[in-house]
Every structure is written in C-alpha cells, then in structure tokens.
Amino acid sequence: MPILEVPSRYRVPTRGEAKLDLSGATVRECIVEAEIRFPGFQELILDKQGRQKRFVRFFLNGEALDRDTLDTALEADDRVTIMASAAGG
C-alpha cells in the first residue's frame, strides 16, 4: 500500500498520525481516502477546485512532482511526501 507522509502542520485532522497507509492508485485517490478517514485533511492541501494549494508540494519516493500532477499512478511500495512551503516577507 502506498504511504502518505504528512508534515506536522497538517496532522490535526489525522490526530497526529504522520504516515498513512492508503490503497489509492493515484496521489489524488490517496488524498481522497485520507479525507474519508480524516475529515478536514483535504482542505489543507487542495483548493476548492481540487488543485494543490500554492504552498504545498508533493514528492514521490523523494522526487518532486510537477504542480497539479495528482493523477500520477502509484505502486504498492510508493511513498508520497507532502511538504508545506514557508512564505514570508
């Protein structure tokens, strides 16, 4: 099963869980499954149109994914990491 790694700033809905074992076949399906298990999770990383938010990045097995490539297919042993970018002035 793919693993979704959740940074600390997005762990409130997951009740502190940092790694979620999910059965989704794509990054998007894993996010949807995480939302079903942990309501409120998806709105932290996706906008209302279902696109990743501006300061959210996804990595697949350590490699950065291009923006809005949430339909990338996953293998059973894949690891998807969510990173929250910092912004400021």
How confident is the model over 18-37, as pLDDT tens digits? 999 999 999 999 999 999 99
**CA torsion, ordered 34, 7, 88, 65, to nearest 10 deg:** -70
CA atoms of 89 and 73, how far apart (whole Å): 36
The distance of Cα 31 from the centroid of its chain, to the nearest Å, equals: 6
Q: Could you give the residue ranges of the DSSP H alpha helices within 1-89?
A: 27-37, 42-45
Please compute the mean of the pLDDT values over residues 44-72 and round it to a whole number: 93
How confident is the model over 60-81, as pLDDT tens digits? 999 999 987 999 999 999 999 9
Cβ distance 26 to 34 under 8 Å? no
Beta bridge partners of 21: 3
Q: Which CATH class is domain 3-84?
A: alpha beta
